[in-house]
Amino acid sequence: CNFGMNRKRRKRKEVQETQHSPSSDDLAVSTKEQQPDLTTLVNQAISLHQEGNLKEAEKKYDYILKIDPTHAVSLNLLGVVLSQTNRHHDAIDLIRQALAINPEYTEAYNNLGMALQATKQLDSAIDSYLCSLKLDPHFISGHYNLGNTYKERDRFDEAIDSYCKTLALNPRHLSAYINLGIVYREQGKFTEAINCYQRALELDPNFADTHNNLGNVYREQEKFVEAINCYQRALELDPNFADAHNNLGNVYREQGKFAEAINCHQRALELDPNSGAIHNSLGVFHKDQGKVDEAIECYQRALELKPTNPQINTNLAMTLLLKGDFENGWKLNEWRLKQQQRDFLQPFWDGSSFEDKTLLIYSEQGLGDTIQFVRFLPTLAKMGNKIAIQCQDQLKTLLQPLESLSHLVGVFNSTDKLPHFDICLPLMSLPYVLGISHPDKIPNYVPYLYPNQDNCYDLPNSPNLKVGLVWAGNPSHKNDRYRSIELKQFIPLFKIPDCEFYSLQVGERVSELRIIDKERSIVDLGEKFADFSDTASALSQLDLLISVDTSVAHLAGAMAKPVWNLLPANPDWRWLLDREETPWYPTMRLFRQKELGQWDDVIEKIRLELANLSLTFRRFES
């Protein structure tokens, strides 16, 4: 999905408002420097340029420069024409000639910055804009273009400062409000972004791009009704707005309205067949539909168009990993680091020997990811070097026993003072660096995590099968609407004799325990959990965990506890495809949906399996 203004539309808008087309300022500079007999020619060239007749304007500027090769205004404005016709390198040469003749030519520095920005020489563009602002601190286009370049470099705080200065000088600068809103959205400051877009709509209520961008903010907040209204309004104003069609399709997909979604994506593709964002959205759509090969084709086409886009590369990586192509998947997954703020200045470890150095491994994503990937620490420890690990606060106590590994100097959370370290690596880069090129190469010896012996749950002795339940994951997870279920869907299990059920659920969804028949008591263990060491202690007392795809399922697998993992039809990459076992956890079974959102068949299969296990378990106990 393209959360910014449509690329072609944005380019048109920014050229109109920010590229220094001929103006009275140029005429003033020109009058000072030109010979009297050139006045008419210059005026003619500028008139043609202002009318958009670039071909004839170029001829006029060329003619003037044959008469006077040192005419700075013509050099500058011919450079603008060349830049407007995508001849940016030639434009840079001409504008630099103009500045060599007139080093105090404010507008030329601005135009040079735009040409440099167009050729991705962003640092040089920033320097050029700063030169224009040194000459004229009140130069609006200089502040605005500087903000655009900072935005492109992901220097968001500096971009905000530049846009705010633009708006202080011109409170009606529409594009500054729109781009300021984009930056605020990138920072997760949704209220500020909405305020910017609403102010932009006050200035121009009929600008489709603003409605589209406002819809993107609402979509990120999962305010889908508001997002749909914004996209539909954008399409009322511009029925051929490809990005708005595509973004509307993304919302419909996230709502599970797949027929509406594919119609939107296909219409978007008809309008803009060379949009990497649209091909990427189609890839996500096909992946959610379980059409993995089609998804890969879409991502590959998207990368032909936008080869350095981190999100598209990461999407392809996840899909390749889902297919079991670890060699290519892990490599592409390193693109995710382009989207993350680095906390450390130390260089990344590349897998080479780090004798006499300390390596910091740090968690970067979810709790389940950390539990799953700390399995690689013993491999590192065998390499005979000093290792420290930084993990989420909830996992520190659980992971502290890993300190017994040789060469592991400690387990630290986000508030602990870290030891000195020389190199670092995100935890989820370990499979790539260690060369885990195939699922068969995953180190899957279990258990590798253990309960704290000083913090055990002593459940009552009973001959019955003790079954733990988790029915919902983190609601902020992007796939939570598909992976979590309602507790009442487990009701068929509660009728199985000789089973005792224990809730390990935490968070708001614990309230669902109240809707279950009081006669079928479920013991709430989760209410006493302070961190995952408590969860591990509870799991150690159980015979089986039945869970949706959550961190608790990972923990049970890491402890070698029997765990039945319920998976949606669009599973996370780690569970691969079409298999009931997983190379990550030998004691885990996978129960897969056949159709997205339909859990009845899964629950029925689990009911039959649990009833059989209960009978077997009772016979064994007797």
Q: Note the pLDDT of residue 517.
A: 62
Encode pLDDT of 398-433 as tens digits: 999 998 888 899 999 999 999 999 999 999 999 999
The 10 Å Cβ neighbour count of residue 286 is: 21
Going edge to edge, which strands form the sheet with 358-362? Answer: 408-412, 386-390, 358-362, 423-426
Supply 4's token pair: 């910014």
Reply yes or no: is the peptide bond before residue 451 cis, omega within 30 of 0. no
Query: Is residue 244 exposed (0-12), middle (13-18) or buried (19+ Cβ within 10 Å)?
Result: buried
DSSP 8-state code for residue 419:
P
In the predicted structure, residue 213 carries a pLDDT above the cut 70? yes
Least confident of 61-75, 319-333, 373-387, 545-559: 373-387
Q: Which CATH class is domain 465-621?
A: alpha beta
The pLDDT confidence band at residue 519, using thresholds 50, 70 and 90, is: low
Write out the H or E segment, with its range, that includes residue 232: helix 224-237
Encode pLDDT of 592-622 as tens digits: 999 998 999 999 999 999 999 999 886 454 4
Average pLDDT, the chain: 91
Look at the pTM and tell me if it is higher than 0.95.
no
Distance CA 550, CA 474 (A): 8
Encode pLDDT of 495-517 as tens digits: 999 999 999 999 999 999 988 86
The pLDDT confidence band at residue 58, using thresholds 50, 70 and 90, is: very high
Q: What is the mean pLDDT of residues 370-390?
A: 92
The pLDDT confidence band at residue 37, using thresholds 50, 70 and 90, is: confident
Domain residue spans in the chain? 358-441, 465-621
Supply 80's token pair: 């603008």
The 10 Å Cβ neighbour count of residue 221 is: 15
Distance CA 252, CA 247 (A): 9
Contact 119, 113 (CB under 8 A): no
Q: Note the pLDDT of residue 355.
A: 83
Q: What is the mean pLDDT of residues 327-344?
A: 90
Tell me the percentage of the chain whose pLDDT exceeds 90: 82
Distance CA 142, CA 469 (A): 60
Encode pLDDT of 255-313 as tens digits: 999 999 999 999 999 999 999 999 999 999 999 999 999 999 999 999 999 999 999 99
Encode pLDDT of 95-131 as tens digits: 999 999 999 999 999 999 999 999 999 999 999 999 9
Q: Note the pLDDT of residue 617.
A: 83
Phi then psi dihedrals of residue 585, to 5 deg: -135, 110
